[in-house]
Amino acid sequence: MKRLLVLALLALAAWQAWKHGSEILHRQPAHQAVVRNESTRNIVRLRFGVGQQVFVKERLAANETAVFPFRVSRDASFSLVWEWEDAPSELTWRGGYVTSGPLLQRHVIGIHRGGGVTHSVERLEPEP
């Protein structure tokens, strides 16, 4: 019985490798979100969301940058939730837009001292 179970697991693993091997071996290019703390205050508990995905950075010091590579299967918008280190109330931002098309984009999101957010988009060339 144990041999049959091991054989079934090996068959399942081989089938998965055959079915999804190209995805594993050849990583698809990804969009980038670059979140910049453009203030003189430290950010804690930064959460960046795109579609159903959420990326977390526990601490983003003043004038520091965090880069989050991401992929989307459908068009999506962004969200940010963060706290200033010296003021423990959550601030939020929603905006921006990424398409699922073949064009890769770098989204540069700047967080400013008063809680204001800027967003700009650049074309991202895929790595060879």
Q: Which pLDDT score, from 0 to 100, does residue 14 have?
A: 84
Enclosing H/E stretch for 9: helix 2-25
pLDDT truncated to tens, each residue of the chain (128 aa)?
888 888 888 888 888 878 776 666 666 788 999 999 999 999 999 999 999 999 999 999 999 999 999 999 899 999 999 999 988 889 999 999 998 878 899 999 999 988 899 999 999 887 66
| Nearest alpha-carbon partner for 65 in 97, 23, 92, 33 | 33
Q: What is the pLDDT of residue 91?
A: 95
Q: Could you give all domains of the chain from N- to C-terminal order, each with its CATH number?
A: 27-123 (2.60.40.2890)
Q: Which residue type is seen at 60? A: L
Give residue 44's pLDDT: 94
Instruction: Give the separation between CA 90 and CA 46, rounded to whole angstroms.
Output: 10
CA distance 18 to 35: 38
Residue 22's pLDDT is what? 65
